Chains A and B, each alone.
Chain A
């Protein structure tokens, strides 16, 4: 049930995103690829060495592993919802096409 899309090719879009994400790892080999929060803190300390954060997070992830678990959870939950919704729409569409094929000649 594929249809010719008017816009940009989905496969190419995915490939481009993957390339954009992986390229820096090869292009900048000596970098640490740390998160940017810490570096922003450093920049603030540089501009204003006397600044003290006046509030700290209520809950800190207990370790890097726990943090990555929570990020994975966030991405996983979101992806699940997107997959569910798109799948549902696709199912609806296919049922419509099955019932009256004549209406969907242009697909």
Chain B
């Protein structure tokens, strides 16, 4: 019970500090819209994304071949990303953005797999919802389906190594992956649209300064939801989680 109290105190403190700093301002979160990256940058990010996509596909093929019983769990990780990126959640900055849901799969299967699962979600949204886009899918893929998951995996390993507290590790992995996804998006926009007066850095400050704030409560939400699903898996399917640990050691 003590842990809960400390946790909720930390939440309150965090939220209050956050409210003092955050004031209503438009946010620039979510994916980069169709056609809003100059052609050169669009191609550049596609070129960066493709090798990870190939790596992800191979990793996916190997996992399903060697451990067919994990297919359901893969479906779960994909579905989790699907659900979370469909939820446009209001934030304290007075606009909406959505979580990414990539942390869970990255922690379960290793980060490479998420380049495929995250890419599928982005494709769905680009084709049907006019959300994100095909020309910008490379850039959005790099931020949401590559860098975010790799961050999640790294954070998870680090926190486990340092403290061995799994819930905390999962929470931080998912939350920080979410934040970093949008920091990368800001950087991508800043590189493509440097401000005339202050260059790339000023543009980055403009994009990131505003929506790092928007993303903070969403990142916390995503961390909590990921821990929730993890708890269910721990309760009902411990054997498979152990199989996954072996998979990650092989790769």
Contact = CB atoms under 8 A, between A and B. Distances in A.
Contacts of A54: 35, 38-39, 135
Contacts of A60: 130
A53 B218 CA distance: 29
A39 B39 CA distance: 21
Given A3-B235, A36-B26, A75-B83, A44 B34 contact: no
B36 A42 contact: no
Give the interface SS of chain B, mostly helix, strand, loop or mixed. helix
Interface in A7-21: 7-10, 12-14, 16-17, 20-21
Interface in A23-70: 23-25, 27-28, 30-37, 39-44, 47-48, 51, 53-61, 67, 70
B228 A86 contact: no
Given A24-B94, A74-B86, A41 B236 contact: no
Contacts, number: 224
Contacts of A25: 90
A5 B233 CA distance: 11
Q: Which of A32, A77, A89 has the largest number of chain B CB atoms within 10 A?
A: A89
Interface residues of A, number: 64
A35 B234 contact: no
Nearest to A40: B28
A61 B129 contact: yes
Contacts of B39: 54
Interface string B199-224: 00001001100010010011011001
Q: Which of A16, A24, A30, A56 has the largest number of chain B CB atoms within 10 A?
A: A24
Given A6-B234, A10-B228, A36-B95, A59 B127 contact: yes
B83 A17 contact: no
B79 interface: yes
A51 B171 CA distance: 40
Interface residues of B, number: 86
B2 interface: no
Contact of A37 (B76, B83, B131): B131
Nearest to A48: B193
Given A57-B34, A82-B83, A85-B72, A28 B89 contact: no
A44 B95 contact: no
B54 interface: no
11 contacts: A33-B94, A34-B26, A36-B214, A39-B26, A40-B207, A47-B206, A71-B88, A79-B79, A81-B82, A86-B233, A93-B236
Given A44-B36, A51-B193, 16 more contacts: A3-B235, A7-B166, A8-B227, A16-B11, A16-B221, A21-B221, A24-B94, A40-B33, A53-B35, A57-B130, A70-B129, A71-B129, A77-B79, A82-B79, A86-B76, A90-B236
